[in-house]
């Protein structure tokens, strides 16, 4: 395997069989990394479920503690029942001096039974989605582990892809392609983190509170995890804007001056992209538009930096003016 996936130079000439053999070894290595990551995610599935469920704490759990919906009614009822022993104990303390020894013993036994009965009562946790099918806890856990394994193994998988494709580029082309390829996983992870901490909580808060008085809201695990993954993936895709802009700039299709003059058209196009991304709702779309605009501006700055000096004067005709 070591010889099969050795670094290949631009001037090396490999047969079709050698190319396929190299691709096979890289695929095997990528699959092996994913399998190991998937196994680790299954081992730590409780921690991963806690992470993906955390955006529900601010909205769903708050609604539950306020007594809204079915879970809220159960929460208030359970809380009231758990408070009964304390109330009875206060009443017992007020009348205890007037009781006989037999009555005290009977009252203490009765209070002990009450405390034991309510000790096992647990308040419903609104920060955990519900499951409606017998196998859904199992399938939902595997789904979450699968997506986290993809995220963990992605850098190495992308590296294997880049290592397979880069020998096809000339040294000049490689100087253009390599920085862009290295930016893709970094920007994707940055987008996922942005989506997790900002977009997903805001989207859940908006959707959970929209006409909430007209519905008994129970969030199903399967639908929530699908929505969360699509939202995080959309955020990761949004953060790829600088890669596309830099690629067009380095290829000579556009120039920084062209991008700056036509920023109004770019805002319209970026807004349409944010609307069309999967897993988006009005709130998440508006939140994702903000980094889109900022990344577009950053792309112009980076394109000025990376654009060769000799190409700065060679600007294509501005057909939009």
Asked if 192 contacts 151 with a C-beta cutoff of 8 angstroms, the reply is yes
Give me the chain's average pLDDT, please. 81
DSSP 195: I
Residue 261, SS3 per DSSP: helix
Residue, of 155 and 132, whose pLDDT is higher:
132
pLDDT of residue 55: 85
Flag whether pLDDT at 32 surpasses 90: yes
Residue, of 75 and 17, whose pLDDT is higher:
75
Q: How many CB atoms lie within 10 A of CB 193?
A: 14
Give the range among 35-44, 93-102, 147-156, 244-253 with minimum mean pLDDT.
244-253
* CA neighbor of 208 nearest in space, from 76, 9, 64: 64
* CA neighbor of 94 nearest in space, from 106, 113, 107: 107
Winning range, highest mean pLDDT, from 194-208, 239-253, 304-318: 194-208
Beta-carbon contacts of residue 199 (< 8 Å; ≥ 6 apart):
231, 232, 235, 284, 287, 288
Cα 148–Cα 280–Cα 300 angle in degrees, nearest 5: 90
Give the mean model confidence (pLDDT) for residues 61-69.
82
Flag whether pLDDT at 310 surpasses 50: no
Residue 153, SS3 per DSSP: helix
Residue pLDDT, tens place only, 212-251: 777 777 888 988 998 888 888 888 888 888 888 877 787 7
Asked if 22 contacts 8 with a C-beta cutoff of 8 angstroms, the reply is yes
Residues in the chain: 321
Measured between alpha carbons, how far is 126 from 53 in angstroms, rounded to an integer?
Answer: 10
Above pLDDT 90, what percent of the chain? Answer: 16
Measured between alpha carbons, how far is 2 from 176 in angstroms, rounded to an integer?
Answer: 28
Measured between alpha carbons, how far is 5 from 10 in angstroms, rounded to an integer?
Answer: 15
Q: How many CB atoms lie within 10 A of CB 226?
A: 16
Give the mean model confidence (pLDDT) for residues 254-268.
87
Q: What pTM did the predictor assign?
A: 0.72
Asked if 227 contacts 234 with a C-beta cutoff of 8 angstroms, the reply is no
Flag whether pLDDT at 169 surpasses 60: yes
Residue 8, SS3 per DSSP: coil
Measured between alpha carbons, how far is 83 from 112 in angstroms, rounded to an integer?
Answer: 14
* CA neighbor of 166 nearest in space, from 10, 315, 61, 1: 10
pLDDT of residue 7: 55
pLDDT of residue 173: 65
Asked if 25 contacts 4 with a C-beta cutoff of 8 angstroms, the reply is yes
* CA neighbor of 192 nearest in space, from 155, 244, 138: 155
């Amino acid at each position: 395997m070591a010889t099969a996936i050795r670094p290949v130079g631009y001037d090396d000439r490999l047969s079709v069989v050698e190319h396929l053999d190299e691709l096979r070894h890289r695929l095997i290595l990528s699959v092996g990394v994913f399998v190991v990551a998937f196994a680790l995610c299954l081992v730590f599935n409780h921690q991963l479920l806690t992470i993906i469920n955390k955006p529900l704490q601010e909205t769903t759990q708050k609604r539950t503690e306020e007594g809204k919906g079915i879970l809220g009614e159960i929460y208030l009822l359970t809380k009231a029942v758990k408070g009964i022993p304390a109330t009875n104990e206060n009443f017992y303390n007020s009348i205890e001096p007037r009781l006989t020894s037999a009555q005290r013993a009977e009252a203490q036994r009765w209070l002990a039974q009450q405390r034991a009965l309510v000790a096992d009562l647990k308040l419903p946790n609104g920060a955990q989605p519900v499951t409606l099918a017998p196998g859904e806890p199992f399938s939902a856990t595997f789904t979450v582990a699968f997506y986290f394994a993809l995220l963990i193994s992605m850098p190495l998988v992308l590296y294997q892809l880049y290592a397979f494709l880069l020998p096809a580029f000339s040294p000049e082309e490689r100087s253009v392609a390599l920085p862009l390829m290295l930016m893709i996983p970094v920007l994707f992870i940055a987008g996922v983190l942005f989506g997790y901490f900002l977009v997903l909580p805001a989207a859940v808060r908006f959707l959970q509170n929209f006409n909430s008085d007209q519905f008994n809201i129970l969030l199903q695990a399967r639908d929530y995890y699908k929505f969360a993954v699509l939202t995080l993936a959309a955020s990761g895709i949004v953060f790829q804007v600088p890669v596309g802009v830099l690629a067009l700039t380095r290829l000579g299709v556009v120039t920084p001056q062209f991008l700056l003059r036509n920023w109004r058209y770019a805002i319209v196009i970026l807004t349409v992209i944010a609307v069309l991304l999967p897993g988006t709702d009005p709130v998440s779309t508006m939140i994702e538009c903000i980094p889109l605009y900022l990344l577009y501006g950053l792309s112009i700055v980076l394109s000025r930096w990376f654009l060769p000096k000799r190409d700065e004067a060679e600007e294509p005709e501005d057909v939009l003016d």
